[in-house]
Structure 1
Amino acid sequence: MQKKIFFLFTITALMVNTLYAQDKSFVLNGLIDASAGDLSGTTVYLKKNISGQPDIVQLDSTIVENNRFTFKGEVPGTPTIYYVSAGNKAALFSPEAGQISMQIGQKNRISGTAKNNQMQAFLDLQESISTDLKEINSRYSVMENTEESRQSWLAEVQPLRDKLEKGSYSITKDNIKNEIGEYLLTMLYQVLPDEQLAELMEEARPAFRQSESGQRLSKYTVYRDIQQGKGRYLDMTLQTPDGKEVSLSDYVGKGKYVLIDFWASWCGPCVRELPKLAETYSKYKDKGFEIIGISLDERKQDWLSAIDRFNMTWVNMSDLKGWKSLAGTTYGITSIPFTLLVDKEGNIMESYLYGEELNYRLQEILD
């Protein structure tokens, strides 16, 4: 009798999902577990990110009753990512035809349709690997830091890295021509080898490749090498404090060692480095050393005041566009201060050099 009941339940569930698949609608049944608190009577929101863009669109809202909620909607033309915002929690799902179950709490869970089951399987894989890594790191944290212990640690960690890399590539490739794959690629790109990232970007939809996120991913390997102090400098043209156009190529690759310093007057760590940098410049400017200060300021007067206050007698340039500066998009700058030391031919030697560390490096090559 129990087998018959189970069989009837399974058939009924399949019929329900088939009916939803035919009319291209979804039902999301959500449960907020105790770890998120009692949210009964509060509003939860159904939202969507526009693929490759920073914009968030609110699609619907509903009131939580007994820590449960339901959203119903039409399946979008292209597989995509929606998310539910409940209090300070958010959970992702794919609005795929059928009945979808969501649990929001300390650990979110999603299930019910093929893509949501696939997404949850990948999240489970990530969690499993994270748990294993924490256990390994905990064991090795109390050991003496020797070459033998480092090699032993790496031998345990590498299979987990390989497993995560394989899983990341598989789920992203399966969905690369829809918004799920595009979303995953923006989350997982640092895990993937360069050749796999290039392959997936090539297979992605043109609209995504041309988006802000897509263009940034296309340049990721260049940005990464720059952050690691490798590769060649990238030329760009900005303005001097008196409004004249000036290019990096006017100074870089001209027989001097050049420090490119990305900074802003509103950046506390940046301005704290400036007095030391002024001393370094005074010491080495006549020995084949130049500095190019690239400001991410937006207000010209703030920029000019800082140049005067900190005696920045080196080359200064900016387009006064803040984080949207050409410097940011060319070099992938996401935080400041940031510096690059470039050799006489325009090759990047090192990154993140400041204070005494910069002085020691210049002493090695110029004294």
Structure 2
Amino acid sequence: MNMKSLLTLLLLLPFAAFAQKKMTVNGKMTNLPDNTPVWLADINNPNDTIAKAKSLKGSFVLKGELAEPKLLILSVGGDKKSNVFFDNSTIAIKGDYTKPASWSITGSTVQDGFKAFETTFVPYFEQLNKIGMRMQAGERSDSLQLSANRLTGAIQQEIDAFIQKRPGSPVSAFILLATINLNPDINQLEQRVNRLQPMAMNNMYGSYLKQTIEEGKTTAIGSIARDFTQNDTLDNPVTLSSFRGKYVLIDFWASWCRPCRLENPNVVQAYNRFRDKNFTVLGVSLDRQKKSWVDAIHADNLTWTHVSDLKQWDNAVAKMYKVQSIPQNLLIGPDGKIVAKDLRGEDLNKKLCELLGCN
């Protein structure tokens, strides 16, 4: 190679190396009528069309640019749809237009990971959903709960296997987010996230995970409960740390919250049963009207300490503990650490029996 050719190559290399790669989707389908509209949209915002085209002789080409790999909806003709996980790759789609389940999608390792996710996890989700529907219908049994626990445990094992195999895939971050409600252990979530590579986390799913971990540490089991002070019904300041040395249930509720009022008898029963065993309750109300708050306390016979700043959802303590729904509670140990959370009904009694004894 002469000097001129070498200089030309060196000048061109930076542009080639840093050129922005775009997404190209080449579709070839049987039974696909001409002029059938085809488009890709963000699954979280179906009105956000990322690329669109019309078919001709069974083929179509979609071109676009994604800021990051993400879950999309591929729609062919409006009535044939498939969830896909695309990045800026050259992707090929083949299959029968009338049978979305038969579509073969190749050319993207991210999509390959998503297909593996669907194959592995969706059957578990479907089984859990069926059990959930049976429970909502009023069916309760030890065997049903055992089946749910077994499925949840299997999912946790599959999560670890998946992210171990694909630590650099954005789909791994997506899976951790998609299954976050199946495991309340924020510390385990953080450990899993720490096993992922930056290329897996540099996206919206990674950002949500980091935010969830940061917020979750506020209420993570084993962490020190954040101290606070709020006024009681007589406008006297009450500080959480003043209960140090006791087990205390921080109970978030409100007079206008029907599920809270239905749960109150369970809390009353637990309080009466364990109050002589180093246990108490601290009610934090998300009320706005003081009279409604105080009247509900008397009506439901809630004889423990209550505080509120009467700012409803802007209650400073509720915001501190990231409370987004009520009823919600945290059980704090004598050392100020969070022992358990969201204990309702018999679960509260079981936990207190475990800690304080029932004899």
1:257/1:343 contact within 8 Å kept: yes
2:194 aligned residue (195, 198, 202): 198
- Distance (whole Å) between structure 1 residues aligned to residue 194 and residue 179 of structure 2: 13
Please state how far the C-alpha of 1:165 moved relative to its aligned partner.
2.2
- Distance (whole Å) between structure 2 residues aligned to residue 292 and residue 96 of structure 1: 53
> What RMSD in Å do the two structures reach over aligned CA positions?
5.5
Give structure 2 stretches of 5+ with no counterpart: 1-18, 132-141
The aligned counterpart of 1:4 is none
Query: Which residue identity is paired with 2:169?
Result: N
Please state how far the C-alpha of 1:118 moved relative to its aligned partner.
1.9
Q: How does 1:316-331 map to 2 (within 5 A)?
A: 316-317=307-308, 320=311, 322=313, 331=321
* SS at 1:300 equivalent: coil
Please state how far the C-alpha of 1:214 moved relative to its aligned partner.
1.8
Q: How does 1:149-188 map to 2 (within 5 A)?
A: 162-171=157-166, 173-175=167-169, 180=171, 182-187=173-178
Query: Which residue identity is paired with 2:120?
Result: Q
Please state how far the C-alpha of 1:94 moved relative to its aligned partner.
0.5
* SS at 1:270 equivalent: helix
Identity of aligned residues (%): 19
Change (3 A) 1:249 1:205: same
The aligned counterpart of 1:114 is 108
The aligned counterpart of 1:341 is 331
Please state how far the C-alpha of 1:95 moved relative to its aligned partner.
3.8
Change (3 A) 1:238 1:265: farther
Please state how far the C-alpha of 1:62 moved relative to its aligned partner.
6.2
Q: How does 1:1-367 map to 2 (within 5 A)?
A: 24-27=22-25, 29=27, 46-47=41-42, 58-60=48-50, 72-84=62-74, 91-101=83-93, 111-123=105-117, 125-126=119-120, 130=124, 162-171=157-166, 173-175=167-169, 180=171, 182-187=173-178, 195-200=191-196, 211-218=207-214, 220=216, 223=219, 225-226=220-221, 231-237=222-228, 239-240=230-231, 249-253=240-244, 255-275=245-265, 277-278=267-268, 281=271, 288-295=278-285, 297=286, 300-301=288-289, 305-311=292-298, 312=302, 314-317=305-308, 320=311, 322=313, 331=321, 333=323, 336-354=326-344, 358=348, 361=352, 364=356
Please state how far the C-alpha of 1:366 moved relative to its aligned partner.
9.9
Please state how far the C-alpha of 1:348 moved relative to its aligned partner.
3.5
Change (3 A) 1:97 1:277: closer
Change (3 A) 1:202 1:29: closer
Count of paired positions: 306
Change (3 A) 1:206 1:357: closer
Please state how far the C-alpha of 1:354 moved relative to its aligned partner.
4.7
- Distance (whole Å) between structure 2 residues aligned to residue 25 and residue 65 of structure 1: 18
Q: What TM-score comes out, normalization by structure 2 length?
A: 0.58
Query: Which residue identity is paired with 1:345?
Result: D
Change (3 A) 1:166 1:339: same
- Distance (whole Å) between structure 1 residues aligned to residue 163 and residue 214 of structure 2: 18
Query: Which residue identity is paired with 1:269?
Result: P
The aligned counterpart of 2:8 is none
* SS at 2:62 equivalent: strand
Change (3 A) 1:204 1:109: same
Give structure 1 stretches of 5+ with no counterpart: 1-20, 34-39, 50-54, 138-144
2:250/2:331 contact within 8 Å kept: yes
- Identify the range of structure 1 (183-192 vs 240-249) with the bigger mean alpha-carbon deviation: 240-249
- Distance (whole Å) between structure 2 residues aligned to residue 161 and residue 275 of structure 1: 35
Change (3 A) 1:29 1:329: farther
